[in-house]
Chains A and B, each alone.
Chain A
Amino acid sequence: MSEVIVFAVAAAIVLSGAVGVVASRNPVHSALFLIQTLFGVAVLFVLQEAHFLAAVQIVVYAGAIVILFLFVIMLLGVDTADDWSVEPLAGQRPLTVIVGAALLGLGLALVVVATDTLTGAVQRGGERALDNGFTDIERIGRVLFTDYALSFEITAALLTVAVIGAVMLTRRLLRSEMLTDLETASMDLPPASPSAPDPDGSNAETLDSKQVPGR
């Protein structure tokens, strides 16, 4: 009984949050509704005794990813209501409806047809007890570092590469590197300011950071 009540409340939180994400005009409000949804999902995880997933859900999604969303929204200054009268990509909206409906249908079909397989209650022909006397943390750790060790490591490597790539893209260029970049791109340099000395004939002194594209 208590399980049903908790489920109903959490489901209401999740759904209202999801509607809020889509319906809000202000991106910051959307992000806040997203947190609400994530929180509700965490409650559902706890209800299924997946405590670890619930904690990770909050730490990773609410604590890191949505924070990054908010960073982008705040720093780019897009925290104003969008203009919905123009459609930036032609035909996007009808396509969205079709794809959304298809995904919803697929999800519902999976839930109806293959619940046991999805949840892992049935695997490789036989039924399997989900809980071999281990807590969910132990089971996740075991599976992650035995059956899925390779994919786990590959994911880690991928994320590291992504981080290094991001650092490379955003790092502050040295002045010498800016010059070579500009030279290879053979761009027109702004005229040298007359007051500055120009000892080696280069236009280096005009290259303050504001004039270099891509910064």
Chain B
Amino acid sequence: MTFAVDPLFVDSFGLSEVVVVLLKVVLVFVFLLVAVMLNIWFMRKVISDMQNRIGPNLAGPWGILVTLADGIKLFFKEDLIPEKSHRFVFKMAPYLSLIPAFLVFAIVPIGGDFNRADGSEGVVTILGHDTLLQVADPPVGILFFLAMSSLAIYGVMLAGWASGSKYPLLGSVRASAQMVSYEAALGLSIASVVLISGTLSMHEMVLAQTGAGFGGFIPSWNIILTGFIPFVVFLIAGTAELNHPPFDLVEAEQELVGGFHTEYSSIRFALFYLAEFMNQITMGAIIVTLFLGGPAGPALFVPQGWWIGVFWFFLKLMVFLFAFVWLRATLPRLRYDQLMDLGWKVLIPLSLAWFLVLAGIRTGRDRGWSSVEVGAFAVGFGVVCMLCAGLLMMALRSARIARLAELEEDRAGLHEPTEGGVPWPN
């Protein structure tokens, strides 16, 4: 069996290598737990600042231990399992949420010096062994992330079903429909990145983004190379995939009580909560790796050493964690039809069209097209896109006009708006 390009596995595989791997696993595990603790505190503190209140301030300095206190409280609360629930599945669901959340972080490169150009970019030495600062670097890299995020749906779905009550079931059906829908847009924007960097492995993606880019100082990060649109699509679809505000219809309190985890209490609820915030951190880390070069900093930055990659990685990660909190504090929740419209009618066509543009550019570059051919491609593609967009708009418009006409009839009293003719939002 061959593993990936991690130099740890190149020569032999003995006890000391196992120790190094275990060390990395434990490190990431502890990091994720502590990071979730700090992330929840950070979210509450930032939101309270934005809302002009003090926020948590009792446990520890600046209330930094508030999550720990909450966790201990939840741990000692009574564990309720509803009478009508499906006991085994009910108990299993929180773990189905939590385990994928832990596993995804294994493929994220979190450090190493990517500025040297001697073939050992990102390699660090632990206990005398050369290795990557990354638990695993499977050849399918980013597909592993997609696989895990699709497994995470089961946690939500089965939690709602196994609770044996209406609101959780509705919440879980909503959640899984939302997550499945947005996974398509997510996958399409990932496809753009894969097309540009030519690899699925996360480590090689970071390698492809190192070095001086345009003009010697603009970094050659994928956010620039893929033309910004996949980044925007990924950010929106990723936020929706997390069920994070403004896409948190899954637990819309006014409609669904608590959504899929209404019936969960005590430590089982804490596990869902943990998974939710851990997914935020992981999603931020994935965005950083895919679009912002991960641990690779701008080439201008001179100092060397493994810590420089760690520094850049966490700096970029913090930007996204703050952005998530910002979204939570700022935006009102979408309506369900708006959510589905945004996913299916905007994000998926947009990322698909952009993927085709990038593929066309790539083909042109590979075949050495002349400027005339490039121009012809651009014009032809533009015309096709306009036609498709026009058709889509016409279809949406005629459907809307027909619906509005029915609504008008209802309003005019031609039809009783009570039973079947419930006006639905436009």
Q: Which residue of the partner chain A has the closest CB to B147?
A: A58
Q: On chain A, which size bracket covers the interface? A: 35 or more
Contact with A along B116-158 (1 / 0, CB 8 A): 0000000000000000000000111001101100110110011
The reply to whether the CB of B200 lies closer than 8 angstroms to some CB of chain A is yes
Count the A-B residue pairs with Cβ separation under 8 angstroms: how many?
95
Please give the distance in Å from A20's CB to the nearest CB on chain B.
13
Residues on B facing A (Cβ under 8 Å): 1-2, 86, 89, 138-140, 143-144, 146-147, 150-151, 153-154, 157-158, 161, 169, 173, 176-177, 180, 183, 200, 402-403, 406, 409, 413-416, 419-421
- Confirm or deny: A71 has a beta carbon within 8 angstroms of a beta carbon on chain B: yes
Q: Using known A-B contacts A63-B153, A74-B173, determine if residue A197 contacts B1 with beta carbons closer than 8 Å.
A: no
Select the residue from B2, B200, B416, B420 with max chain A CB neighbours within 10 A.
B420
Q: Output the nearest chain A residue to B418 by Cβ-Cβ distance.
A: A208
Question: Are A199 and B139 CB-contacts (below 8 A) given A59-B147, A62-B150, A67-B153?
Answer: no
Contact among B138, B143, B176 with A59 in the assembled complex (CB-CB below 8 Å) = B143
The segment out of A47-55, A81-89, A113-121 that lies at the interface is A47-55
Within the complex, what minimum Cβ distance (angstroms) separates B200 from chain A?
Answer: 6
Q: Is A175 an interface residue (CB 8 A)?
A: yes
Measured CB to CB, the closest approach of chain A to B262, in angstroms, equals: 16
Q: Which residues of the partner chain A approach B143 to less than 8 Å between Cβ atoms?
A: 52, 55-56, 59
**Is there an interface contact between B420 and A55, defined as CB atoms closer than 8 Å?**
no
Interface centre among A52, A55, A79 (most CB of B within 10 A): A55
In the bound complex, residues from chain A placing their C-beta under 8 Å from that of B146 are: 55, 59, 63
A193 touches B416 (CB 8 A): yes
CA A132 – CA B414 in complex, angstroms?
72
14 A-B residue pairs with Cβ-Cβ distance under 8 Å, sorted by A, are: A28-B161, A52-B139, A58-B150, A59-B150, A74-B157, A74-B169, A74-B173, A136-B139, A174-B406, A175-B406, A193-B416, A199-B414, A204-B415, A210-B419
- Bound-state CA distance A54–B140 (Å) is 9
Q: Which chain B positions have C-beta within 8 A of A197?
A: 413-414
Is A13 located at the chain interface by the 8 A CB criterion? Answer: no
Given contacts A35-B154, A74-B169, contact A55 B176 (CB under 8 A): no
Q: B395 to chain A: closest CB distance in Å?
A: 11
In the complex, per-residue mask of A53-96: 1 if CB is within 8 Å of any chain B CB, else 0: 01110110011100100110011000100000000000000000
Given the known inter-chain contacts A56-B143, A208-B420, A208-B421, please indicate yes or no for A71 contacting B150, CB distance below 8 A: no
- CB atoms of B157 and A67 under 8 A apart: yes
Q: Closest residue of chain B to A215, judged by CB? A: B420
State which of B89, B139, B402 has its C-beta within 8 Å of the C-beta of A32: B89
Q: Among the listed A35, A137, A210, which residue makes an inter-chain contact with B140, where contact means beta carbons less than 8 Å apart? A: A137
Residues of B within 8 A of A205 (CB): 414-416
How distant is the Cα of A209 from the Cα of B420 in the complex, in angstroms? 5
Q: A59-B146, A70-B157 are in contact. Are A135 and B414 (CB under 8 A)?
A: no
A3 at interface (Cβ–Cβ under 8 A)? Answer: yes
- In the complex the two chains form, is B180's CB within 8 Å of A67's CB? yes
Q: Does A211 contact B (CB under 8 A)?
A: yes
- Known A-B contacts A55-B147, A137-B200; A28 and B89 likewise in contact (beta carbons under 8 Å): yes
CB distance from B143 to the nearest CB of A (A): 4
Within 8 A of B (CB), among A173-215: 174-175, 193, 196-197, 199, 204-205, 207-211
